[in-house]
Structure 1
Amino acid sequence: MDIRAEVWSPLQNTAVWLGAWLHGLTPTDDLVDALLDLGGSGLTDVLRDLRQVTRGVAGEEPVLRLVLSGPGEAPALRAGSAGAEAASVSGVGALVVRDRDPLTSHILVPDGDGDWQWFTDDLPQPAPAWLSPGEADQLLTRATEEAARMVEASGYRTDALSSPRLTVGTLSDFYDTPGLPGAVPPRAAKLFARADRVAAIVETVTQRLDDHRIDPQLLGLWRHIRAARMAGVAYAVREFGRLT
């Protein structure tokens, strides 16, 4: 199993860059460069269409949001819809883009090779959790502390990772690349950094050290990592809208 695919997704940064661009906070050239770095080059072909469907969208909800899923957790998209089925098959998540029609959503699903599928759904999507950055950070922190206690209670030790709360520096550059637009609110950036740190812990123990003795304690963090990333994207894009 590819642990990295479960704890990190380029869709997080892709969603933030798109949100900043749709609200006029980052130039097109910078967006295109970021998409190329993130492996989302196929989105460059539909930027004009995205601008068109989101023009005039109003309300407090963010113009786009991130949907991630994992083992035992279906994507939060309308059950049985083409977008939900495509997201389940791809396993890498989706972007939900709002339309001027409040009942219409556009579901963008990457295939992992740079191409994207676009689905338009005229029925309401499931309501997301709408966690605030503080709530998501608190849940992730509590889950991490509980996992750390369980690991320590098990007597687990390794020379390469002396504490389950420590991350490995060699992974930091990967999780930071290719960065985020300058308009990202500090609260969202902090939440992304927290999710990256916990993701690095999980990947280090299970993948880099090839040690699976404490998988049950660490893998339970996946859901909280995904929730933090989705909450951070929703908050950032909502704040972009308030700046314009």
Structure 2
Amino acid sequence: MRTRPEVYSPLQNTGVWLAAWLYNVESTDDTVQALTDLGGPHSYQGLPMAHLLADVRSEADLEAPEPVIRLVLWGPGQAATLRAGSPAMEALTPAGALVVRGASGVNHILVPTYRERGVTWRWFEDSERLPEPEWLTPGEADALLSRATNEAAVLIEAAGGTRAELPNPRLAVGTLADFYDTPGLPAGVTPRAAKLFARADVVAATVETVTDRLGDHSFDPQLFGLWRHIRTARMAGVADAVMDYRREYLAS
């Protein structure tokens, strides 16, 4: 099993860019370029990305009390917060989904499929209330991720540490962390969310370096236990960024 799909999804930055665009913080051109950088050309019902953006704009409730864009990630030990047996759940890939909050409580669920030649989107609607996410604050998610990382480090150190077969494992971690951040975040992202994304990137890069680059699976149980906290941190960061855009929008 490769680590990256479990600790990283382009949808983290995609969700934040869509929110920045919806709340008029970023232009359409810059948003399209960022989403293209995140996965290549996008298609929706056989049409270009502009048609997806138009539908998102027409359906999104920008004044909803909940985040108008919500990131859904899932994996081992963590169920997706979509209705079991629903068409959206059946279509879900390891990349996750974005939930757009619409008028009258309708949830518009955007499910992408990432391929080498680009991204294909499917659109689902669900009028029933979705399972509640954890709704952690950035501080709570950061504390959980930090504590889990420290506990894993203690266990690994007590067991004698990992092999260091790379010329510079620390450099490898830094390089991967830079990859996770590409192509960056839109303007106006809260420092709280940016910090949370950065911590999640570093922890994800560390896990990938040990398991995939070093090929050391001695500590898989300790490292795999971090996956849930990495995903949760990413979802909490997106929710915080989206709600801050909402506050600025309503105050203007």
Q: Please indicate the TM-score interval, normalised by the length of the shorter structure.
A: over 0.9
Contact 2:82 2:89 in 1 (8 A): yes
Partner in structure 2 of residue 129 of structure 1: 134
Distance in 1 between the 2:179 and 2:91 partners?
Answer: 27
* Equivalent residue number for residue 216 of structure 1: 221
Structure 1: gaps (5+ residues): none
- Which of 64, 68, 73 aligns to 1:68? It is 73
RMSD: 2.0
1:225 has 2:230 as partner: yes
Deviations 1:73-127 (A, max 9, x none): 221111111111211xx1210001101112x100111111200110011111111
Question: In 2, are the aligned partners of 1:96 and 1:106 still within 8 Å (CA)?
Answer: yes
Deviations 1:161-184 (A, max 9, x none): 79x999722213212210000111
Equivalent in 34, 53, 59 of residue 53 of structure 1: 59
- CA distance change for structure 1 residues 157 and 53 in 2, over 3 Å: closer, same or farther? closer
> Counterparts of 1:111 and 1:80 in 2: how far apart (Å)?
19
Amino acid at match of 2:66: E
Evaluate the alpha carbon distance shift between residue 145 and residue 220 of structure 1 in structure 2; reply closer, same or farther with a 3 A threshold: same
SS at match of 1:111: strand
Counterpart contact for 1:17–1:180, Cα < 8 Å: yes
1:100 equivalent in alignment to 2:100: no
TM-score by length of 2: 0.90
What secondary structure does 1:115 align onto? strand
Q: Larger deviation: 27-36 or 150-159? A: 150-159
TM score, norm. by length of structure 1: 0.93
In the TM superposition, residue 138 of structure 1 has moved relative to its aligned partner by 0.2
Q: Does 2:44 align with 1:39?
A: no
d(CA) in 2 for partners of 1:160, 1:144 = 22
> What is the CA–CA distance in structure 2 between the aligned matches of 1:240 and 1:160, rounded to whole Å?
44
What fraction of aligned residue pairs are identical, expressed as a percent?
60
Q: Partner residue of 1:140?
A: 145
Equivalent runs, 1:192-207 vs 2, <5 Å: 192-207=197-212
On the 8 A contact 2:20/2:187 being kept in 1, the answer is: no
Which residue is 1:234 aligned to?
239
Residue 26 of structure 1 pairs with residue 22 of structure 2: no
Query: How far 1:156 sits from its partner (Å)?
Result: 2.2
How many residues are treated as equivalent by the alignment?
A: 240
Residues 6-35 of structure 1 show CA distances to partners (whole Å, capped at 9, x for unaligned) of 111100000000010011110000000001
CA distance in 2, matches of 1:69, 1:100: 26
Q: Shift of the alpha carbon at 1:160?
A: 4.5
Partner of 1:112: 114
| Alpha-carbon distance in structure 2 between the residues aligned to 1:81 and 1:240 | 30
Query: For the Cα contact (< 8 Å) 1:57–1:100, is it kept in 2?
Result: no
Superposed, 1:172-211 pairs within 5 Å as 172-211=177-216
Query: Which consecutive residues of structure 2, in runs of 5 or more, have no partner in the other structure?
Result: none
Conserved 8 A contact 2:138-2:192: yes
Residues 46-91 of structure 1: CA deviation (Å, up to 9, x unaligned)? 110110001x54232110100000023221111111111211xx12
Preserved CA contact (<8 Å) 1:65 1:95: yes
Name the CA distance, whole Å, in 2 between partners of 1:155 and 1:240. 46
Cα distance in structure 2, aligned partners of 1:179 and 1:224: 21
- C-alpha spacing 1:70/1:77, structure 2 compared with 1 (3 Å): same
Structure-1 residue corresponding to 2:10: 10
Quote the offset at 1:235 in angstroms: 0.5
